[in-house]
Amino acid sequence: MPNEQLQILQRALERERKARKQAESILEQKAMELYEVNQKLKVSNASLEELTHKQSSQLDGVFDNLLDAYILMNLKGEVIEMNRSAKQLFGYNLDFEHVNVVKLIYREDYQYAMQSYWQLINKGYFKDYKARVITKNKEVKQVHINAGLVYDASGKAIAAQGIVRNITEEYKEAELKKALLANLEKSNQELKDFAHVVSHDLKSPLRSMNTLIYWLKEDYEAILDENAKEILAKLSTKVEKMDHLIRGVLAYSSIDKVEHPLEKVNIQDLVSDIISVIYIPENIKVEIPKTLPIITGDRFRLQQLFQNLLNNAVLYIDKPKGWVKVTCEELKTHWKFYIEDNGVGIDKKYQKKIFEVFQSLQKSDHSTGIGLSIVKKIIDYYEGEIDFTSTVGEGTCFHFTLKKKHN
């Protein structure tokens, strides 16, 4: 072999050798890099695992501590998972038995349940399903369910989950309330009818009595002595009181019965009219220091309201110089009226009693005990409140509110 060719070969060999070493060292370096990356991966894997574990145990906690029952089922209705509340609600334990949700449906609600199931399959969810279910102990419970489909990574539905709330108690309560309300309405109506019938029936014999007393006085004027006449006069007064009573009952029972139209009522004029109509002894002055407002309401009821309160105020004044003041204050949503007097006053202990029907604090021929209960009823009707402040022997101030706008 020529020397030159040998040298070429030697150089080629040398290059190959160096190339091999270079490749080895590159690979060594790559291996080192791989090892380092691997170590880093291991660390981050470990922390990921820890995180996953933490999250899944958190989820388990949430899942089991949910007050509502949670059920996971496959698309055939076989229950895969139940939380603690679900086990308690339905009484089943998946560790020992298979449960299909069909078994839980109350027979009469079956069709509704199937409709909801189709909605779940087609739309992916249903909401506010309210129906009955049967537990393992054959108890019937009222439940509320929201449910949705569970999908795999490719978007295919693989299961359904539902949150089940036991609303048996609420349902029972609502049913009870409904029944009570219906009952109440019925007995209210009966009471009103009764009051009307009784009042009307009582009125005619009363009128007869009045006429008979009149005849007795007229026809036997000559024979009757003073004592008899006095008794007859008392009898007349009692009959008159009876008539007052009956009219009071009628008025009370018809406050929320007859619908009167709402109109603008000038309270200044209304109160002035009342003052001129009712009996006011000469020693008593009724004052309106500031012009009263015009408010929206039903004239008839407002008249009853003010007349009753003014009557009361005037009636119970025992001072030689009596006064009654009517004032008004405008609040945000209500009008507030004050009717103040310097009469006998009312003891605080009667506070609760005085607005009840047939409660009169003084035995009197004029008092029927219905007046303030009518007042209270009218104020309730206008969504207002009534109260009073009083010092016995010095006077009383009734104050009440009336709502400005009516629904």
Partner 1 sequence: MKGIVFTEFLELVENKFGMEYVDDIISKSELESEGVYTSIGTYKFSEMVQLLTHLSEKTQLSINDLLHTYGLHFFSVLKNSYPDIIKQYETPLDLLNAIESHIHVEVRKIYPDAELPKFDVTNKESSKMTMIYTSSRGMYSFAKGLMESTFKHYGKEASIAITKLNNNGTEVKFDIQQHA
Positions in the binding site for partner 1 (CB under 8 A): 5, 8-9, 11-12, 15, 18-20, 22-23, 26-27, 30
Q: How far is the CB of 25 from partner 1 (least distance, A)?
A: 10
Query: CA end-to-end span of the chain, whole Å?
Result: 122
Of 33 and 190, the one with the shorter C-beta distance to partner 1 is: 33
Q: Which is nearer to partner 1, 15 or 42 (CB)?
A: 15
Nearer to partner 1, 6 or 278 (CB): 6
Closest distance of CB 145 from partner 1, Å: 49
CA distance 85 to 67: 6
For partner 1, give the closer residue by CB, 22 or 364.
22
Nearest Cα neighbor of 326 from 341, 315, 305 is 341
Is the separation of the CB atoms in 129 and 147 below 8 Å?
Answer: yes
Comparison of 18 and 200: residue with beta carbon closer to partner 1: 18
Residue type, 284: I
In the numeric block, which tokens belong to residue 56? 């899944």
Tokens 């004027």 correspond to what residue?
221
- Could you tell me the smallest distance in angstroms from the CB atom of residue 87 to partner 1? 51
Q: What does the alpha-carbon distance between residue 140 and residue 211 come to, in Å, rounded to a whole number?
A: 68
Distances in Å between the Cα of 241 and the Cα atoms of 138, 148, 164, 234 are 65, 72, 65, 11
Give exposure, 279-315, as e/b (b: 16+ Cβ within 10 Å).
ebeeebebebeeebeebebbebbbbbbbbbbbbbbbb
DSSP letter for 262, please. P
What contacts 170, CB < 8 A, 6 or more positions away? 142
CB of 24 to partner 1, least distance (A): 9
Query: 119, 165, 169: which is closest to 144 by C-alpha?
Result: 165
145 pairs with which residues across the strands?
129, 164
CB 26, min distance to partner 1, A:
5
In the complex with partner 1, the residue whose CB is nearer, 30 or 238, is: 30
Residue 9 or 34 with smaller CB distance to partner 1: 9
In the numeric block, which tokens belong to residue 50?
């820890």
Q: For the chain, how big is the Rg over CA atoms in Å?
A: 45
Looking at the Cβ atoms of 16 and 330, the one nearer to partner 1 is 16
CB of 18 to partner 1, least distance (A): 4
As measured in angstroms, the least distance from the Cβ of 103 to partner 1 is 53
> In this complex, which beta carbon is closest to partner 1, that of residue 29 or of residue 391?
29
Sequence-distant (6+) residues with CB within 8 A of 355 are 372, 373, 375, 376, 386
* Least separation in angstroms between CB 27 and partner 1: 7
DSSP single-letter state for residue 180:
H
In the complex, minimum distance from the CB of residue 21 to partner 1, in angstroms, rounded to a whole number: 9
